A and B are shown apart, each in its own frame.
Chain A
Amino acid sequence: MMDIIKIGFRNLIRNRHRTVVTTFAMGFAGFIMILFASLMQGMLQASERNAVSMDVGDIQIHVAGFRDDPDLYKQIKAPDVLIKKIETAGLRAAPRLYGFGLAASGSASSGVQLHGLNVPLEREVTEIHKHLAKGAWLDPNDPGGVVIGRRLAKTLDISVGSELIFLGQSADGGIANAVYRVRGVLKSVGDSIDRSGLFMVETAFRGLMVLPEGAHEIAVMRPDRRGELSTAKSQIASLAGDYETLDWKEIRPTIARLLEMADTQLIIIMIIITYIAVATVVLNAMLMGVFERIREFGIMKAIGVKPWQIIGLIYVETLAQTAAASVLALGTGWAASVYLQKNGIDLTHIVSGASVGGVAIDPIWRAQVSAETVMTPILFLFIMAVIAVIYPAMKAAFIRPVDAIHDQ
Chain B
Amino acid sequence: MKQHPRGLSLLVAILPIFFLVHPLFAQSQNEAEKILRHVDDLWRGESSSAEMTMKVKTAHYTRTLRMAAWSKGKANTLVRIISPLKEKGTATLKSGKNIFTYLPQTDRTIRLTSGMMMGSWMGSHFTNDDLVKETRREDDYEAKITFRGERAGQNVIEFTLIPKLDAAVVWGKVVLTIRSADYIPLEEVFYDEEMAVARTFRFRDLKVLGGQLRPAVMRIIPADKPEEYTEVIYETLELNLPVEEAFFSIANLKRR
Q: Using a CB–CB distance below 8 Å, which chain A residues touch chain B?
A: 71-73, 99-102, 104, 107, 109-111, 165, 167-169, 171-175, 177-179
Contact = CB atoms under 8 A, between A and B. Distances in A.
Q: From DSSP, what is the main secondary structure of chain A's interface residues?
A: strand
Given A72-B1, A174-B123, 8 more contacts: A71-B1, A99-B1, A104-B110, A165-B108, A169-B120, A175-B105, A175-B123, A179-B106
Contacts of B122: 175
Counting chain A CB atoms within 10 Å of each CB, the highest count among B2, B86, B108 belongs to B108
B108 A109 contact: no
Contacts of B22: none
Given A100-B1, A167-B101, A169-B120, A179 B108 contact: yes
Nearest to A99: B1
B208 interface: no
B113 A171 contact: no
A171 B110 contact: no
Given A104-B108, A178-B105, A169 B1 contact: yes
Interface stretch (B58-66, B136-144, B156-164, B240-248): B58-66
Interface string B1-14: 11000000000000
B9 to A, nearest CB: 21
A10 to B, nearest CB: 79
A173 B1 CA distance: 10
Contacts of A72: 1, 60
Q: How large is the interface on B (under 10, 10 to 19, 20 to 34, 35 or more residues)?
A: 20 to 34
Contacts of A110: 113, 115
B87 interface: yes
Contact of A173 (B60, B112, B115, B119): B60
A205 to B, nearest CB: 14
B1 A102 contact: no
A111 B118 CA distance: 11
A172 B84 CA distance: 13
Counting chain B CB atoms within 10 Å of each CB, the highest count among A111, A173, A175 belongs to A173
Contacts of B87: 174-175
Contacts of A165: 103, 106, 108, 110
B90 interface: yes
Contacts of A171: 60-61
The 10 A-B pairs of least Cβ separation, nearest first, read: A173-B123, A111-B115, A173-B61, A177-B103, A104-B110, A173-B63, A100-B1, A179-B106, A172-B61, A102-B116
B110 A109 contact: yes
Interface in B73-132: 86-87, 90, 101, 103, 105-106, 108, 110-113, 115-116, 119-120, 122-123
Interface in B26-75: 56, 58-63
Nearest to A100: B1
Contacts of B115: 102, 110-111
B152 to A, nearest CB: 33
16 contacts: A71-B2, A107-B111, A109-B110, A109-B116, A110-B113, A167-B116, A168-B1, A169-B1, A169-B2, A169-B123, A172-B60, A173-B60, A173-B123, A175-B87, A175-B122, A177-B108
Contacts of B56: 173
Contacts of A71: 1-2
